[in-house]
């Protein structure tokens, strides 16, 4: 973790928790993370729980959406426009999660439009990239995630990199219990930063790159000790207030 980049500790609830469960979570979670002022805390509930989450957190925890459309309005049944999220008090949006790419056919071209739309509406985009186990074993990790980053950042200006985040989530480590070793995560994220640097120059040093993939209280400290890991995107472990609070309150190396 670089001292120059403020850590972002994010939880992605996926399709879990009702509105009452959301209120109960934050009643327990917010007191556990109050007073933290050297890192950003983000929780991304389902769309139906966003308003409940915003009301339950105040300014202690940022609330993000798990996806959005790039259009301001239109005949897009089931979709949510950026302005609708802003109206709710949402500040961040996760874009291109591997599950969205796999199950809902999200593609790089549309994700580039979504990243641009997020910026244009004052939202912080968190762009996800990641490779499958077959791609890693074939030696195609850097090619795959580099290509996703190139495409997703196509309409981003260098001065905007510091205002967003990219989350590296190896697909083979999401919800499987398998975690990239800290060394593998660091090596891959460093290579990703180099790819961004090739296009954006020194502005790449301002970009926060997160790790996501079976992050738990037991491995957070060693992950956050890596120089290029600027935070985490946590799935299942973010559903438990005590466990996620421990992740947020990671212990920095001496």
Catalytic residue among 99, 106, 131, 169: 169
Give 221-226 contacts, CB < 8 A, sequence gap 24+.
221/250, 221/251, 221/253, 222/182, 223/182, 223/185, 224/1, 224/7, 224/250, 224/252, 225/1, 225/182, 225/252, 225/253, 226/1, 226/182, 226/185, 226/186, 226/189
Assess whether 27 carries a catalytic annotation. Answer: no
- What are the structure tokens assigned to 25, written together? 């979570």
- What are the structure tokens assigned to 236, written together? 């299942």
Assess whether 97 carries a catalytic annotation. Answer: yes
Catalytic residue among 47, 69, 97, 99: 97
| Nearest CA-CA partner of 174 in 96, 93, 99 | 99
Active site residues: 97, 169
């Amino acid at each position: 973790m670089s001292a120059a980049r403020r850590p972002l500790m994010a939880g992605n609830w996926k399709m879990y928790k009702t509105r009452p469960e959301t209120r109960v979570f934050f009643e327990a979670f917010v007191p556990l993370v109050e007073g933290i002022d050297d890192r950003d805390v983000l929780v991304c509930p389902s769309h139906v729980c966003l308003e409940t989450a915003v009301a339950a957190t105040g300014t202690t925890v940022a609330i993000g959406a798990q996806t959005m459309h790039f259009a301001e309005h239109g005949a897009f049944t089931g979709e949510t426009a950026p302005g609708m999220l802003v109206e709710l008090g949402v500040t961040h949006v996760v874009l291109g999660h591997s599950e969205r790419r796999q199950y809902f056919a999200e593609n790089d071209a549309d994700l580039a439009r979504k990243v641009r739309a997020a910026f244009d509406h004052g939202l912080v985009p968190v762009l996800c990239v990641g490779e499958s186990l077959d791609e890693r074993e074939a030696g195609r990790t850097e090619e795959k995630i580099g290509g996703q980053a190139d495409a997703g950042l196509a309409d981003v200006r260098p001065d905007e990199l510091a205002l967003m985040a990219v989350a590296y989530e190896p697909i083979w480590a999401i919800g499987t219990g398998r975690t990239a070793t800290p060394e593998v995560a660091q090596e891959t994220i460093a290579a990703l930063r180099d790819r961004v640097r090739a296009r954006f120059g020194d502005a790449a040093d301002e970009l926060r790159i997160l790790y996501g993939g079976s992050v738990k209280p037991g491995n957070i400290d060693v992950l956050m000790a890596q120089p290029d890991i600027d935070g985490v995107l946590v799935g299942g472990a973010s559903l438990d207030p005590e466990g996620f609070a421990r992740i947020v309150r990671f212990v920095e190396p001496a």
